[in-house]
Structures are given as structure tokens and as C-alpha cells.
Structure 1
Amino acid sequence: MNRLIGLACAGMLAASGAFAAGTTLNVGMGSADAGKLDPHVATSTPDKGLLHWMFNGLVRIKPGEASPEFIEPDIAESWTASEDGLTWVFTLRQDVDCHGDYGGIDAADVVYSLNRSANPEQSSFAKDFEAFESVEATGEYEVTIKLKNPVPSLLGMLVPYHGGNIVCQDAVEALGEEYQRTPIGTGPFMFAEYQPQQYVKLVANPEYYRGEPKIKEIFYRYIPSDASRDLAFQSGEIDMIYGKQDQTWSERISKLPGTKVTVMKPGEMSVLHLNMTMPPLDDVRVRKAFAHAINRDAMVQFKGPDVTLAAISPVPEGNMGYTDQVPTYEYSIDKAKALLAEAGYPDGVTIKAIHTTLPGMLSTMEAVQSMLRDAGINMEIETVEHATFHEQIRKDMSQVVHYAAARFPVADVYLSQFFHSDATVNTPTAVANFSHCAVADDDIAGARVATDPVKQAEMWASAQAKIMEEVCAVPVVQSLQLWAWNDRLDLGAEVNGSLNLSPPVTEKAFFKD
């Protein structure tokens, strides 16, 4: 209990105004509340962004970048790999401390973290780690990972993004269920306080191994209304704002004096997953009609061509293994209606969808709803809070799931998580296969173990073609991440992207006088 009291006191100290002016960062996030703050469970964009500032991995992508080419040491100071790619040895730093008084990070914590990430009862990302044969402490500060088969870009799995977040074993075990609301990491900022539907407060980690942060406290405020969030930013109540994902927002906010707007990679790809087990979507003709009713060009214009890309394949453009050589369904209301009639629905169909209240996603879904209506497809939308949305779609409760996701940019990740049958929702090995797609299993599995890069690329391409032929899902657009902040805030890095979809607030961030 002393550990929790210590953290609470840190929060009280921050709230009391003990920190000097210009050291408090107020962030406005477009969500009604926090979801789960355990980094091995959290899947939503708002939660991943917050956790980004609290946790480290064995390796990381250089702050301000999103491409694997920028991977660099984090908790691991060096590593080696065997010639066959099956054995990896990581040498750890010896100066990494857990938040509070939970001690230093050593090999045992890393082993615990990666085994926890691989456990489906404790992790949302267990599927990613199925190729791990063993993770062992081969020294107090040395960890050896052995693989059953080569993994495309293993280092990408070990960045602090999903399962790569390193947790402190003593903290997780001591806090139990409380850990989901009291995350203890090793990063530049420490959890201090959570006020439901209001904010999470972080304070600087004075023992951070890269140096004590110049920002002393962060209020991560939940403001789901775009208008309210914009007003708070304009009035100076918040310093950094999660933007509405459309071009008009970017153009308008960038005109505010003293404001910096950034368009970050990677884009979250909006995909409409069609549950092929639920009538009428169990008929491929209905799914093809659905695809023909979507006007991607109109969606790009709706969101803004400077901040949006059309999505063609179930793997995002720019990912290793992406191909555009897949079946496509041009926008045609006539073809959509003809397919519905052929399937026995000349008067149209009604389908039901559960959807998040997050404004950026909801506006996309409402635009799709309007397009479908023109083709005789009536999509009834039930809106729920974002955390509830994630919970219900994973219980297989929605005929259509609009999922906007960014993942580590390798084809295997998207294909394995969204389109392999092992990942089907509401099953023991569930990840995010909302459509119950199974047509590309052999290609996905084969590419994962292929040692010939050409053969691997061919299998990935084949998988994408089969998924689109079956219309397991309809890719719509990639929406790049929009953020803005007061230009007095210097993040200490040029921001081109962030896998965690939030700007890199590190120990180097500070407010200029």
C-alpha cells in the first residue's frame, strides 16, 4: 500500500501547484473516458497514446518517426541474432528503474513481460507471439529469445507499442486488478491520478534513465466533443489537442496564432469488416453489393485529400508486403442493386452495426451509411462509448464492424490479426477477425515462416487477393493522424510520425519562455 500512497502523494503535489509555471502540459483527447490502462490489454487509440509516455520496450522507434528503419536501443543496449534468425540475445541496460519503489528492471522482468504478452488470458496481443518458443534470462541483464520459425521484423514486436511494452513484475503482481487503472512503467512519466470521464494525470519520473523530464506534469483530459475540445484549445485551457481527422479542421486550426499542426504517419486504415456468418452478409453477392456501394473517392474528398488516402487492399499502402493487385469493386449503385436482386433482395436489406461515439470514426461511418442507403442497404447504427464498442465487437455482436487501426507496418501483422481464422473474435485465440475470414490461412501462415523474401511477398499478395475476392472486408480510407499544439511547446524532435498515434512527449519536451 505504501507504493500507492507514494504515487497518490505525487499527484497531490502536482495538483497543489508545487511545480513552476510552464511545466504543466494539458492535452485534450477525443474520447469520453479511459479504457484499460494495462499496456498488454489496451487496444484503443486514446489509451495507446497515453501509455506511450509511460512505458519502454527492449527497442523503440526514434521519437517522431514511425518507420522500422528508425529502430534503436531502449531498455536493451545491444542485441545479436543467429544466422538462421531463430535465436536473439539482448543485453539490457542496468540503470532502468520502475516507477515508485518497485526496484530496477532486470532480465526477469523482461521475461515476465514477454511471457505475459504471449498469454491470451493476460494480453490482447498474444497472437503476435505464437512463434516464440522460449524467453529466458541467460544472465541478470541478458535475455535470450528463441523462435519456432523466423518472424518478419521481430524487432518491431519489441517496441513499446503493443505486446512489446515492458512491465515491472513486482508491480503487476502486487496491484492485481488495480493495475488496469494504476499502470506502473519505466518511462519518462508516471501515473499519478485517474478521475473517470475527466482526466488521467501523469507526473515526471525523476529517476528516468535518459534524464528527468522538463515537463513536470501532464493532464490527459477526456473531451469527446470536437467543438468543446477546439474551444478549450483556442482559449489556452489545453496546450495539445487530438484533431478531428478531416482537412477542414487542419486548415482552420493552423490559422490560430501560435499553433503548430502536424499530420502524422501511420494512417489509421478504416475497414468495414463484414460478418460472413450473419445473414444477409453470409451471401458473397450481398458483400459485393456492399463494396460497390462505397465511393472511396468521395470519402477521400469528404475527409480531405491532404490528410486521407484511399484504401484498396486489406494491408495498408506503405506496409512491407502491400500489393494493389487485388480484386476491386468500383463505385456503382446499379451493380450493387443488381447483386442484391440476384441474391434475393430486390427491395434491399437491413443490417445492424455497433459503433463507437468517437467523432472521427463516427463521421466516417455515417458517410458510409448514407452511401449504402442509395443502394438499398439500410445500415442501422447503435452508438456506444468507445471502450464498450471494443468489448461488444469482440463478443461478435455486430454485423458490420468499422475498425480504424494502425499496426506495425508489415503485412503479416494486419493479415494475422484481422484475417486468419485463428484470430476470429469470440474464440479462445481471438484477436480482431470480425468477419470470420478463413480463405487466406495457408498463405498467411506460409509467409510467416518463409525464408525467401520473394516467396514471402508472393504469399502475402495471394492472401490479400483472396480476402478481397471473398469480400471479407471493405477497405475504405487511411486517415492520417492530426494533432496540434501551442508552438511554445517544443517536443525536442521533429514529428513525422508515431506508431502509438500520439506525439512523442519525452524527457526532452519543454515550454519555451
Structure 2
Amino acid sequence: MTPSLTQILLSGAAVAMLATPVLADKASDTLNVAFSLEPEPLDTYKIAGREGLILARHVYDGLLYKDMDSGTFKGLLAESWSQPDPLTLEFKLRRDVTFHNGAAFTADDVVDTLNTVIKPDYGTRYAISVDWIARVEKVDDYTVRIHMAKPFAGAFEMLAGSLPIYPHAYFDAVGSAGMAKAPVGTGPYRLVSQEPGVKYVLERWDGISPESPKAGAQIKTIVVRTMPELNTQYAELMSGKLDWMWRIPPDQADRLASRVQIVSAPIMRISFLNLAPVAASGDTPLKDLRVRQAVAHAIDRDAITRAFAGGASEVLKAFCNPAQFGCTDAVTQYAYDPDKAKALLAEAGYKDGLSLPMTFAAMPRPVAEAIAADLAKVGITVQLDELQYAAGVSKWRERQAPAFFSNWGSYGVGDVAFLLSNFFGGGADDLVQDAELSGWLHEADTATDPELRKADYAKALSRIADEAWVVPMYSFNVNYGLSKDLSFRPYPDEFARFWQSSWK
């Protein structure tokens, strides 16, 4: 296809940008963004890292959109939907949507995309995003039905974030590799040039449907660069060459606060200490509820959160993130109380203390050491064992890690379905194997009634707290560094929505 004059001009502009320094310039309407990690190739179904997924959400759209303020779902490529039966979802599609390459959006795009990516040989990175779909059926040009392989309460979450729709003719011609090399979507921005690992240039797509929840982007151009060195990012942010960066350590955020905007925002990820009531060796002190309760009372979670997390992080009152659907703090609480911890240990027959191996993974050693120091004050001597995450999980599953300190991000999804069942739903990470508890979770994970789901999750969270199988620690936060000209709002799912940003 012969390139248009606009495409030629854009290509020339992209080359010129490579040859000249990038300057953060409100006047030129260009937002300059930096990531420390390189975004992965932009076939959303193959991406694991947040960086690539952020870019992909600007280029692509799915059927639904989640309003993070209300927690409700809106139509994106779909204008309405219904559920004729428990295993069928029917969607009426928008008729005014055009892909970035000029192709009209129809049911064929939905059917072809989803029926392709659900096949095992496609290699979709996260099976949880597609394994609930049996097949997708075209009813007419603007109506599709998704036939579910199983009941799945997280279906709308997946449709709103993880299942973008590709133009079927182009997708069939170029496949996953072609989509990654030259993405074509219906989102608020289109990719006009990329140097993988170096720079990506996106331009506002003015052909977006005016009814889209993503419509109304104000900034014309977004330039995203990969800059592994944080010090380089700090220097460019302070000198005005950069408008946006993230994941700034707390000490550096404090240092930069007088020069740039620093925004600290909570995210879905939480940290926690799992306590196994069973062990491969046979006996374990943690089989006694009083010992588990003593561990919970011995840890000064408030002090640890202030010292090591700071910002928008909060001490957790239950084994869930308050931003998630189904989370409740109306459960048994374990306040910091060393004297009570000592009394519980004595009551359990450990007046002279006990030894407790603690594995930690994907958490800073100073935090693990702080927990160990608190436990030592009540007579629990901790042997710390630092491992890579996969090795730590394996040791936990093999019942060789009585205490396992780590974190979980729930795939960035604001629903406890993506947290609780992983650890208490009867799977490999569930060392408790409480049939009633896993039954509540299964019912909640598959139900469509939100009130029923909330009730079941509340029962599950209460059981977990009553039995002290987990010591919830704190929610994570992200520090963003922004130019003083930029208006940007972060969300707990860690997806930067630059289409909502504007200049002050």
C-alpha cells in the first residue's frame, strides 16, 4: 500500500526526533516518558511487563472498560451486553469504530481475535485471561456471543483489560510478530515509530469513536524512552527533558520533591507473611493457632510500614487490598502486643521460645530483618533464607518453608478473586486445604451476583484471620515524578492512562 502524505511526514518527523535531543516542551504538545525496563513487543497477549502493557492499552481496545472510580464496567468496543444463560455473554458492538489502518470494526474482528488467542499453540502469556472462553460466535455483523468454558466471575475484568481486539484481516496476514512490529488498534493513540529497547513514538488518534470512554485525549504526542539508569531519569526530569517517570525509591522521592511534582499512589500489590500449619518434616509449632497468633501480635507492622514502605502504603487489616472488590477489614485484628505474644507462646508450651525458619522472596532483606528482630523480642529466633521468587514458592509448596514472606499483585486486578483462591482455593499454594473455605471461594469466584460474592469473600477472609494463617503486612505504593506542567492521575492497577493527562 502506498504511504499517504501524512504517513511520510510522520516518518520524517520520527527520524528527526532520533537525531535531536528530546525536550519536554508543553508548547510542542509532546509528553516525554521514561521507563527503566524495556517494553515488550506490543502483542498484548504475549506481554508480562507493565511497561509494554501500558503502551498496548493506548493502542488497543477491548470490548469493555473498567471505571476505576466507580468500579463499574462500561462499553468500549461493545455498546451493550447481556447474559442469556450462565455460560453465555452476548455483546452488541459499536458501529462507528475504525482501526488505525482505516479498516471498519465488526464482529469478525472479535471472533477472529479471541478464537485465535484462546488456542494453546498461540502462546498467550497468562492462561487465566483466556482459559474461561470455550469459543466465540458471530451472530451478525455487530453481535457476538462468548461461550464460556466455565463460570468465571473475573470474565469482565479480563474483557476490560487483557483481551484487546485486533483487525482480523491484518492479524491473519501478519500474526503475532506482525502485530508486535506494527501494531494496529482502535485506541486513543497509534504507534508511529519504534526502536525496540530505545524509543516509541505515539500520536493521538483523532478517529476514535466519540462515545469511547477513552475519547478526549488532549496531548498530541507521547515519546517513551527506555532509560535503565534512574540517575539519568532524575537528571532529565529536573532539567526539563522529561515529563514522567515512576517507581522512584522513597529517599529519592523526598530529595526530588522540591524540584518536581512527586505523587505517591497505592497499588494492588500487597506484602504478607504466610504461616504453614503443616510441614514436610512432620511436626511444626505453627500447627498451634496460639503460636500463629503470637507471631501476628509480635510484629510491629505500623513501624515497618512507615520505615520501609512510606508514601501511600497502608498497614493491611485483612489478607486483601482495600482497593479490591470483596475486600473487608471486618475481621479479627492482631494489634502489636509483644506481651500478649509472649503469653500465647507460654500457653502453647513455648515459654522459653522457639526457632522459626523464614523464607523470603521478592522482598527487601531489611524488611525481613525487621520482622525477625520483632519476633526475637518475644522469644522466636528466626533463621532467614533469601531465595528467588520461583525457588521460594517451590519451597513453600514442598512444605519446607514454615514461614514465607513475599508479595502478590493480583495481576493488577481489583478483585480478590485473583488473590484468595491462589492461596486458599485448594491449589498448590494452599497448605491449609480447608474444604469449607475453598468452597466459599469457588462459589464467589464463579457467581454473577456481586452481593453473594461479597458475602462469601467476607466469610473466607474472616476464617483466614481467625486462624491466623497469614499475617497481612502492607500495601505497596508507587512514587511518580512529574514535570510541574503535567496533570496526571495514577490508579491502583499501575496502568498509566496518558489519554486522561493534560498540561496545566
**TM class, shorter-length:** 0.7 to 0.9
- Residue 270 of structure 1 deviates from its aligned partner by 2.6
Q: 2:440 aligns with which of 418, 422, 443?
A: 443
Q: What's 2:76 paired with? A: 74
The 8 Å contact of residues 297 and 310 in structure 1, kept in 2 or not, is answered as yes
Q: What's 2:372 paired with? A: 372
- Residue 14 of structure 1 deviates from its aligned partner by 4.3
- Residue 117 of structure 1 deviates from its aligned partner by 5.9
CA distance in 2, matches of 1:142, 1:233: 47
Alpha-carbon distance change, 216 to 453 in structure 1, aligned in 2, over 3 angstroms: closer
- Residue 505 of structure 1 deviates from its aligned partner by 0.9
Q: 1:464 aligns with which of 452, 461, 465?
A: 461
Deviates more, 1:445-454 or 1:206-215: 206-215
Q: 1:501 aligns with which of 489, 494, 502?
A: 494
- Residue 342 of structure 1 deviates from its aligned partner by 6.4
SS in 2 for 1:308: coil
Q: What's 2:305 paired with? A: 300
CA distance in 2, matches of 1:374, 1:215: 52
SS in 2 for 1:238: coil
Computed over aligned residues only, the root mean square deviation of the Cα atoms, in angstroms, reads 4.6
The 8 Å contact of residues 300 and 308 in structure 1, kept in 2 or not, is answered as yes
CA distance in 2, matches of 1:9, 1:394: 50
The 8 Å contact of residues 297 and 334 in structure 2, kept in 1 or not, is answered as yes
1:8-87 pair list within 5 angstroms: 12=15, 14-16=17-19, 22-29=28-35, 31-34=36-39, 37-62=42-67, 65-69=68-72, 71-76=73-78, 78-82=79-83, 87=88
1:265-304 pair list within 5 angstroms: 266-272=267-273, 283=284, 285=286, 288=292, 291-303=296-308
CA distance in 1, matches of 2:457, 2:92: 33
CA distance in 1, matches of 2:163, 2:263: 26
- Residue 98 of structure 1 deviates from its aligned partner by 4.7
- Residue 242 of structure 1 deviates from its aligned partner by 0.6
Alpha-carbon distance change, 125 to 25 in structure 1, aligned in 2, over 3 angstroms: same
One-letter amino acid matched to 2:238: Q
CA distance in 2, matches of 1:107, 1:222: 40
CA distance in 1, matches of 2:138, 2:119: 18
CA distance in 2, matches of 1:182, 1:293: 55
Q: What's 1:348 paired with? A: 355
Alpha-carbon distance change, 271 to 208 in structure 1, aligned in 2, over 3 angstroms: farther
| Higher share of residues assigned helix | 2
Q: What's 2:378 paired with? A: none
Q: What's 1:107 paired with? A: 107
Q: What's 2:406 paired with? A: 402
CA distance in 2, matches of 1:302, 1:241: 23
SS in 2 for 1:157: helix
Alpha-carbon distance change, 96 to 380 in structure 1, aligned in 2, over 3 angstroms: farther
Alpha-carbon distance change, 152 to 168 in structure 1, aligned in 2, over 3 angstroms: same
The 8 Å contact of residues 268 and 492 in structure 2, kept in 1 or not, is answered as no
The 8 Å contact of residues 351 and 377 in structure 1, kept in 2 or not, is answered as yes
- Residue 291 of structure 1 deviates from its aligned partner by 4.4
Q: What's 2:212 paired with? A: none
SS in 1 for 2:327: coil
CA distance in 1, matches of 2:392, 2:177: 23
CA distance in 1, matches of 2:132, 2:75: 23
Deviates more, 1:151-160 or 1:179-188: 179-188
Q: Report Cα offsets for 1:68-122 as digits up to 9, x if no partner.
A: 23x333222x1131476654332223454555x5945432332344446655663
Q: Report Cα offsets for 1:150-204 as digits up to 9, x if no partner.
A: 65475333212xx2333455448734467667765442142733444xx441322
Alpha-carbon distance change, 124 to 415 in structure 1, aligned in 2, over 3 angstroms: farther
Q: What's 2:324 paired with? A: 319
Q: What's 1:137 paired with? A: 138
CA distance in 2, matches of 1:298, 1:449: 38
Between the aligned residues of both structures, percent identity stands at 19
SS in 1 for 2:194: strand
Q: Report Cα offsets for 1:473-507 as digits up to 9, x if no partner.
A: 4321123443231132356xxx2x4354143112x
Unmatched segments (≥5 aa) in structure 1:
356-361, 384-388, 425-433
- Residue 446 of structure 1 deviates from its aligned partner by 1.4
Alpha-carbon distance change, 280 to 141 in structure 1, aligned in 2, over 3 angstroms: farther
Q: What's 1:485 paired with? A: 482
The reply to whether residue 474 of structure 1 matches residue 471 of structure 2 is yes
One-letter amino acid matched to 1:308: S
The 8 Å contact of residues 276 and 435 in structure 1, kept in 2 or not, is answered as no
Q: 1:242 aligns with which of 241, 246, 263?
A: 246
SS in 2 for 1:255: coil
Report the TM-score when normalising by structure 1.
0.72
The 8 Å contact of residues 283 and 343 in structure 1, kept in 2 or not, is answered as no
The 8 Å contact of residues 14 and 203 in structure 1, kept in 2 or not, is answered as no
Alpha-carbon distance change, 344 to 39 in structure 1, aligned in 2, over 3 angstroms: farther
CA distance in 2, matches of 1:342, 1:200: 62
CA distance in 2, matches of 1:410, 1:421: 19
The 8 Å contact of residues 245 and 303 in structure 1, kept in 2 or not, is answered as no
The 8 Å contact of residues 315 and 411 in structure 1, kept in 2 or not, is answered as yes
CA distance in 1, matches of 2:442, 2:328: 18
- Residue 54 of structure 1 deviates from its aligned partner by 2.7
CA distance in 2, matches of 1:282, 1:467: 21
SS in 1 for 2:240: coil
- Equivalent pairs counted in the alignment come to 469
CA distance in 1, matches of 2:372, 2:282: 14
Which of the pair has more CA radius of gyration?
A: 2
CA distance in 2, matches of 1:47, 1:276: 40
Alpha-carbon distance change, 481 to 165 in structure 1, aligned in 2, over 3 angstroms: farther
The 8 Å contact of residues 368 and 405 in structure 2, kept in 1 or not, is answered as no
One-letter amino acid matched to 1:348: S
CA distance in 2, matches of 1:452, 1:12: 53
The 8 Å contact of residues 54 and 185 in structure 1, kept in 2 or not, is answered as yes
Unmatched segments (≥5 aa) in structure 2:
210-214, 376-380
